[in-house]
Amino acid sequence: MPLLDRLLSPKRAAVMGILNLTPDSFSDGGRFVDPWIALAHAKRMIEEGADIIDIGAESTRPYGGQAPVTAEMEKERLAPVLAGVVALGTPVSIDTMKAEVADWALRQGAAIANDVWGLQRDADMAGVIARHDVPVIVMHNRDKADPAIDIIADIQAFFERSLAIADKAGIRRERIVLDPGIGFGKVPAQSMIAIRELDAFAHFGLPILIGLSRKRFIASVVPSEPHQRLGGSIAANLIAVQAGASIVRTHDVADTLQALRVAEAIRDAS
Residue 227 is classified by DSSP as G
249 a catalytic residue: yes
43 a catalytic residue: no
Round to whole Å and give the CA distance between 138 and 63: 20
**Pick from 68, 158, 51: nearest CA to 115:** 158
Active-site hit among 215, 216, 229, 261: 215
77-80 CB contacts, 8 Å cutoff, 24+ apart: 77/21, 77/22, 77/33, 78/21, 78/104, 78/105, 78/108, 80/35
Residues 6+ apart with CB under 8 A from 152: 193, 194, 197, 200
Round to whole Å and give the CA distance between 94 and 132: 13
For residue 214, CA distances in Å to 62, 209, 242, 267 come to 13, 16, 19, 26
- Active centre residues (catalytic): 215, 249
